[in-house]
Amino acid sequence: MTYRVHIQPSAEADLEDAYRWIAEDAPLAAARWYTGLVEAMQTLRSFPERCPVAPEDSAFPETIRQLLYGRRRHRYRILFTVRDDRVEILHIRHGARKPR
């Protein structure tokens, strides 16, 4: 089964904020990071359940999963849920941030 990936406005804002933050120090690295993260999200089109359940999962009525992307300072958690044939990207959070 192929899923459709939909990025919620909140996740889009998270992505833009992260890109701007990285670009302050390294514009070329930020562009590569951004492209890679978008490509990583698209891998969720097939078998999104491969990703582990996120620590925040117990606070929500539906299963929240996470896909990790990046290295060292620029590691981010892509939080999403699977609804029927759609993967809903809910938030993109820096890996160092504590779960809410």
Residue 72: strand pairing partners: none
Residue 78, in any domain of the structure:
yes
Name the domain count of the chain.
Answer: 1
Domain that holds residue 44: 4-94
Tell me the per-residue pLDDT of 7-22, one tens digit each, with 9 for 90 and over: 999 999 999 999 999 9
Classify 79 as helix, strand or coil.
strand
pTM: 0.89
pLDDT value for 37:
95
Q: Which residues contact 37 (CB under 8 A, 6 or more apart)?
A: 15, 69, 70, 76, 78, 92
pLDDT of residue 89: 97
In a domain, 75, yes or no: yes
Give pLDDT tens digits for 44-100.
999 999 999 998 888 888 999 999 998 777 689 999 999 999 999 999 998 656 665
> Does residue 22 sit within a domain?
yes
